Amino acid sequence: MEKPLDQGNVQTTPGEDSSGEAVKKDFKGLLGSVRKFLSELLDIRGNTDQDAAKEAIIADITFKGHTAWILVCSIFIASVGLNANSTAVVIGAMLISPLMGPILGIGMSIAINDIDTLRRSLKNFTVMVVLSVLTAYLFFEFFPLRDESSELLARTAPDIRDVLIAFFGGLALVIARAKKGTIASVIFGVAIATALMPPLCTVGFGLAISNWDYAAGAMYLFIINTIFIALATFLVLKLLRFPMVRYANSKRRRFIARMASLVAVAVMVPAGLTFYQVFQESRYRIQANEFIAETIGVYEFPGNGRYMPNLSQILYEDDETSSIELVCMGDDPIPENVIESWRNRKNQYSKLQDTELKIVQGGQDDSEEKFRYVSELYEAKKVELLNKDERIRLLEEELSQMQSFSSALLPFADITAEARANYEDLAGLGFAYTLQTDFSKTDTIPVFEVRWKEDVPPARQQENLQKMANWLQVRLKNPKIQVREAGR
């Protein structure tokens, strides 16, 4: 009789044990190969020229002579581009701007404990900013056109994307600077992406029109760019282990090290706070737009009622006084129970619970004060209600009218000279456009009126009249042309 197998004492053969060890060994080898591949792929220390990178950054810090004039010219170009709403011109100004040099100098000097370079960088950076804002202010103060273009308004309200662009742009720039054989295309690309010049121009524009919100928002964007570019420079140079500046005096060396650490903390703390605040505002606006889309966006207004998204506002404040103001037009007001359901829906969003929801309605059945408010708001923002397609359509109509008018013009002086040379019996020639209709359509007809000399026989007048009509139709390439005798 066979004995049952003891499940607790199952033994593996030597072949099975060796195959398991082989699998583990192969797996470890695979991990090692992947680690080595990634290390070789992402390592930037081996191809770094520390001395050349340091010299290049220090050389770009200097601000005098040619650099000052280049900055002034780039500011003027950027101001004109922003005023004309030309993206291409703004990009050109960013490419020639020397603003990036002192910012990299600030980040590098903190990373390598170089207080002298830090002092020079801060001084040149301050001079550059003041000169840039002053130049932009003078341009917008004395230039007669002050349109609030979309290029200008885009620099007045930074969000989380601006923070990410500044930080990763700074990383790319410093890595390119540190590489043996600097990658010029990266430097140009970062200059365009981080956009240091347009915010300063917008600050000058805000000061010129006394709009402090524009000026403050644009300066905030510039500070974000500056802080995160400097922070990226600091982190990359620390990662690449750039050598610290040595001082003969040990006490001075320790003091400089402490000061550099304090400055680094002073830069990183505002950077972290800025990132957090912008991130919170971005989350708030995302949830606010989702709330609007899920409530008023799907609400069926009675009659001719409608929601006015261009007049509505989402106002975010850190002190819990944020508000969402929705503007509606229509004869029938939105029922209170619907508005109350919207408020309950709002409280389901974590960032909107303390937000005040305002519903502004305009219509015959609403209060006179609200209707007047909506009417004034509509007039103030009427231009913004035209979308791009509508603007294009209007421009195409105007262009068509101009082309039609231009094609209708004729060289009257040349025609009269040729007619006088061809028809010796001609005493005078007139021209005018007349409107004719057959009650189904109206057309504009060019009509010439001729006066013959008194001794010309009537038969000859009719013959010349027909010849002149044929000649003018061929000469002006218009079969609609008519020729008549004056007074008939």
| 23 Cβ neighbours under 8 A, 6+ residues apart | none
Cα distance between residue 257 and residue 176, in whole Å = 27
Nearest to 452 by CA among 413, 420, 481: 420
Token couple for 273: 């706070």
Q: What is the residue whose two structure tokens read 């191809």?
A: 47
pLDDT recorded at residue 8: 47
| 63 Cβ neighbours under 8 A, 6+ residues apart | 71, 98, 101, 102, 124, 127, 128
Residues 320-354: b if buried by 16+ CB within 10 A, e if exposed: eebebebbbbbeebbeeeebeebeeebeebebbee
Token couple for 416: 């009269």
Crossing angle for the helix pair 197-208 and 115-142, to the nearest 10 degrees:
50
Q: State the Rg of the chain over Cα.
A: 38
pLDDT recorded at residue 364: 44
pLDDT recorded at residue 488: 65
pLDDT recorded at residue 1: 47
- This prediction has a pTM of 0.53
H-type alpha helices, 347-411: 368-380, 388-408
Fold of 407-485: Alpha-Beta Plaits (3.30.70)
Three-state SS across 276-344? HHHHHHHHHHHHHHHHHHHCCCCCCCCCCCEECCCCCEEECCCCCCCEEEEEEECCCCCCHHHHHHHHH
Cα distance between residue 150 and residue 387, in whole Å = 13
Token couple for 419: 């007619």
pLDDT recorded at residue 240: 80
Partners of 445 in the beta sheet? 434
Q: What is the DSSP-derived secondary structure letter of residue 384?
A: G
Exposed (0-12), middle (13-18) or buried (19+): which is 250, by Cβ within 10 Å?
Answer: exposed
| 172 Cβ neighbours under 8 A, 6+ residues apart | 186, 189, 190
Nearest to 177 by CA among 51, 292, 356, 13: 51
Nearest to 358 by CA among 343, 345, 337, 368: 343
Q: What is the DSSP-derived secondary structure letter of residue 385?
A: G
Token couple for 20: 């398991």
pLDDT recorded at residue 164: 75
The H or E element spanning position 484 is strand 482-485
**Residue 459 CA: distances (Å) to CA of 166, 330, 402, 451, 456:** 87, 72, 42, 14, 8
Listed in order, strand segments (DSSP E) in 88-135 are none
CB 93 within 8 A of CB 195: no
Give me the residue spans of the domains in the chain. 50-278, 295-385, 407-485
Q: What is the residue whose two structure tokens read 């209170």?
A: 336
Nearest to 270 by CA among 224, 310, 302: 224
Residues of the chain with pLDDT under 70: 1-20, 26-27, 38-47, 144-160, 180-195, 247-254, 256-257, 259-261, 263-271, 303-304, 319-320, 362-395, 397-410, 487-488
The H or E element spanning position 139 is helix 115-142
CB 81 within 8 A of CB 92: yes
β pairing state of 442-452 and 306-307: unpaired
The H or E element spanning position 135 is helix 115-142
- Structure confidence by residue, pLDDT tens digits, 448-460: 888 888 888 888 8
3-state helix, strand, coil in the chain (%, to 5): 65, 10, 25
Angle at 278 between CA 172 and CA 176, to 5 degrees: 5
Q: What is the residue whose two structure tokens read 């029938």?
A: 332
pLDDT recorded at residue 10: 47
